[in-house]
Amino acid sequence: MAAEIISGKDVAADVRASVKEAVDQLPGQPTLAVVLVGEDPASQVYVRNKVRQTEACGMRSLHHQLPKDATQFEVENLISDLNQDDEVDGILLQLPLPKGLDEAAAIEKIDPDKDVDGLTETSAGRLVLGKPGMRPCTPTGCVILAKRALGDNLSGKHVVVIGRSILVGKPAALLFLAENCTISIAHSRTADLRALCREADIVVPAVGRPEMVKGDWLKPGACVIDVGINRVPAPEKGEGKTKLVGDADFESCSEVAGSITPVPGGVGPMTIACLLRNTVLAACARRGWDVPEGL
Query: In CATH, what number does 28-114 get?
Result: 3.40.50.10860
Query: How do the pLDDT tens digits run along the chain, 295 residues long?
Result: 689 999 999 999 999 999 999 999 999 999 999 999 999 888 999 899 999 999 999 999 999 999 999 999 999 999 999 999 999 999 999 999 999 999 999 999 999 999 999 999 999 999 999 999 999 999 999 999 999 999 999 999 999 999 999 999 999 999 999 999 999 999 989 999 999 999 999 999 999 999 999 999 999 999 999 999 999 999 988 888 999 999 999 999 999 999 999 999 999 999 999 999 999 999 999 999 999 998 9
Strands 90-93 and 4-5: unpaired
Distance CA 47, CA 215 (A): 36
Of 53, 89, 94, 157, catalytic: 94
Of 115, 117, 226, 249, catalytic: 117
Q: Note the pTM of the prediction, 2 decimals.
A: 0.95
Which CATH class for the 137-269 domain?
alpha beta
Q: Angle, nearest 10°, between helix axes 137-150 and 169-178?
A: 50
Q: Provide the 8-state DSSP code for 133.
A: S
Identity of the residue numbered 20: K
Cα separation of the two ends of the chain: 34
Q: Do domains 28-114 and 137-269 have the same CATH topology?
A: yes
Query: How far, CA to CA in Å, does 157 sit from each of 5, 8, 164?
Result: 20, 21, 19
219 is catalytic: no
117 is catalytic: yes
- Domain ranges for the chain: 28-114, 137-269
Contacts of 147 (CB under 8 A, 6+ apart): 154
Contacts of 81 (CB under 8 A, 6+ apart): none
